[in-house]
């Protein structure tokens, strides 16, 4: 089967960058980044994160994009194509990751859709109630219906293909998303508290976010911050889940690969930073430092609706824009997760895109129903090796993000750094005579520093550090 003829490609570097950035800019940026920044000393977390983006993140992103474009195959078959049969296992693991992320990501996408509907229909005040979120996710049918709608939209886009589906969606949604994020960020800085909230302002919240706090910082505490920032980078730049390898396989040989990777880094870091500007100041104004410590879903679905409710009428309007924006971010990411699996099925088994999309979409829906029922019929609590308490959704998340993704990333570093050598990726990136500015850094990072950092991340996931 000739992959060159069969394979679609993005129309240009803009299409590739927007699709890749659309994948990278997802729920991880919008709810995990602000929470971690608030927890880890604001500006200190930002500085650590930025250094890691330019070194650790760049290394993984460059490696995956290089592998994808060089082999012109999705991650399921690309690793074996590059390193030989003994690297096939890495392709399998990298495809298991999106296979297990898709069902629960679409469930959370369904939650966002529910909140958007609540705000659009003028019920925003009800969403601010402490019991609202818990009441919704523990109900039997509603989460399944919203999951079905969100996953259906995802399947529709991937079914349409690379150009008419993924690229067309990204070119429309990403600019709108950026404008919305900028708009809400500017608005967040103008928010003023009253006497009840101690007269705090949005600017005060911004300063808490961007000024590094070294209060009570220990070496151990600093190591935790580094681990948090590294874990966030996985979420943030879509590495170690087969997505960047797959998207890069549709990337034209004539385009500048180094420049495109730099643009994805920039776009993603900008959105992650702005997510903090958008969320931390308003939560700080109305709820103080305590409100900023709400984790993950709690921040998005409990703390933020409360803030919007306290704003009155303008809060409803901002709430509508906010949740529509989050749907867009979640949809572009969910599309990329589905595409990583679908492309693997097409490359490995030679089946049509339409058939592959329907098969994988159906499996994700079935698993998604189990995830939804994990909050009612199948409810249980289990303590994970890292000490967290988990239900079904959290167990999916832990297995993919804390265990399998570091394994894929370590495997990628060993393949590129030691088996086929960094020169393979560097040659791919510079084959049209492009300049590779961080070449020495890349070689040192991929061979030595990145695998060591990843090993620490994996050990901390197992509760061993």
Domain ranges of the chain: 3-461
Q: What confidence tier does 6 reach under pLDDT thresholds 50, 70, 90?
A: low
Q: What is the tens place of the pLDDT at every residue in 79-111?
A: 999 999 999 999 999 999 999 999 999 999 999
Q: What is the pLDDT of residue 5?
A: 44
| Alpha-carbon span 53 to 60, nearest angstrom | 10
Contacts of 142 (CB under 8 A, 6+ apart): 114, 136
Q: What is the tens place of the pLDDT at every residue in 212-240?
A: 988 889 999 999 999 999 989 987 889 99
- 52: pLDDT strictly greater than 50: yes
Tell me the CA distances in angstroms from 113 to 60, 77, 396, one per residue in order: 32, 34, 21
Q: What is the tens place of the pLDDT at every residue in 237-267?
A: 899 999 999 999 999 999 999 999 999 999 9
Average pLDDT of the segment spanning 300-328: 92
The answer to whether 385 and 463 are in contact (CB under 8 A) is yes
Q: What is the tens place of the pLDDT at every residue in 338-358?
A: 999 999 999 999 999 999 999
3-state secondary structure of 251: coil
Average pLDDT of the segment spanning 59-84: 97
- 291: pLDDT strictly greater than 80: no
CA atoms within 13 A on the CB side of 294: 20
Q: What is the pLDDT of residue 295?
A: 61
Q: Is 63 exposed, middle or buried (0-12, 13-18, 19+ CB in 10 A)?
A: buried
Q: What is the tens place of the pLDDT at every residue in 17-46?
A: 999 999 998 988 888 898 888 888 889 999
Q: What is the pLDDT of residue 300?
A: 87
CA atoms within 13 A on the CB side of 450: 36
Q: Which DSSP symbol is given to 25?
A: S
Average pLDDT of the segment spanning 53-59: 96
Q: What confidence tier does 438 reach under pLDDT thresholds 50, 70, 90?
A: very high
Average pLDDT of the segment spanning 402-412: 96
Average pLDDT of the segment spanning 264-271: 92
CATH of domain 3-461: 1.10.4160.10
Q: What is the pLDDT of residue 156?
A: 98
Residue 390 pairs in a beta bridge with 382
Q: What is the pLDDT of residue 296?
A: 67
Average pLDDT of the segment spanning 293-302: 76
Which uninterrupted H or E stretch holds 383?
strand 382-383
What average pLDDT does the chain have? Answer: 93
| Alpha-carbon span 308 to 144, nearest angstrom | 26
Report the largest interatomic distance among the alpha carbons of the chain, rounded to a whole angstrom. 70
Q: State the pTM of this model.
A: 0.95
| Alpha-carbon span 388 to 381, nearest angstrom | 10
Average pLDDT of the segment spanning 371-393: 94
């Amino acid at each position: 089967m000739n992959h060159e003829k069969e394979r679609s490609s993005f129309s240009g570097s803009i299409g590739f960058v927007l699709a890749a950035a659309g994948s990278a800019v997802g729920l991880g940026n919008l709810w995990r980044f602000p929470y971690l920044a608030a927890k880890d000393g604001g500006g200190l977390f930002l500085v650590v994160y930025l250094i890691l983006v330019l070194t650790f993140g760049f290394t993984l992103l460059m490696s995956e994009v290089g592998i994808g474009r060089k082999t012109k195959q999705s991650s399921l078959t690309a690793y074996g194509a590059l390193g030989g049969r003994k690297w096939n296992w890495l392709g399998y693991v990298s495809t298991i990751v999106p296979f297990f992320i898709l069902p629960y990501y679409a469930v959370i996408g369904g939650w966002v859709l529910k909140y958007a509907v609540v705000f659009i229909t003028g019920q925003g005040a009800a969403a601010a109630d402490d019991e609202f979120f818990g009441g919704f996710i523990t109900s039997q049918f509603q989460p399944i219906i919203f999951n079905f709608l969100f996953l259906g939209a995802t399947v529709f886009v991937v079914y349409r293909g690379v150009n008419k589906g993924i690229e067309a969606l990204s070119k429309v949604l990403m600019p709108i998303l950026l404008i919305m994020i900028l708009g809400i960020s500017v608005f967040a800085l103008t928010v003023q508290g009253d006497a009840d909230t101690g007269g705090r302002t949005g600017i005060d919240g911004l300063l808490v976010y961007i000024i590094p706090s070294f209060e009570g910082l220990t070496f151990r505490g600093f190591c935790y911050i580094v681990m948090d920032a590294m874990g966030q980078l996985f979420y943030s730049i879509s590495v170690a889940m087969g997505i960047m390898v797959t998207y890069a396989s549709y990337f034209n040989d004539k385009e500048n690969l180094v420049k495109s990777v730099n643009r994805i880094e920039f776009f993603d870091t900008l959105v992650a930073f702005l997510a903090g500007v958008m969320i931390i100041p308003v939560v700080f104004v109305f709820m103080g430092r305590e409100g900023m410590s709400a984790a993950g879903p709690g921040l998005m679905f409990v703390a933020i609706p409360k803030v919007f409710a306290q704003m009155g009428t303008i809060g409803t309007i901002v709430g509508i824009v906010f949740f529509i924006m989050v749907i867009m971010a979640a949809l572009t990411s969910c599309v990329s997760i589905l595409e990583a699996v679908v492309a693997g099925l097409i490359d490995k088994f030679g089946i049509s895109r339409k058939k592959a999309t329907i098969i994988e979409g159906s499996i994700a829906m079935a698993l998604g129903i189990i995830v939804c029922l994990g909050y009612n019929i199948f409810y249980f609590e289990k303590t994970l090796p890292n000490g967290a308490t988990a239900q079904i959704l959290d167990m999916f998340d832990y297995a993919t993000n804390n265990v399998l993704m570091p394994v894929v990333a370590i495997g990628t570093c060993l393949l590129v750094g030691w088996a086929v050598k960094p020169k393979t990726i560097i040659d791919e990136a510079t084959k049209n005579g492009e300049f590779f500015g961080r070449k020495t850094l890349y070689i040192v990072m991929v061979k030595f520093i990145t695998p060591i950092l990843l090993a620490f991340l994996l050990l901390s996931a197992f509760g061993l550090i």
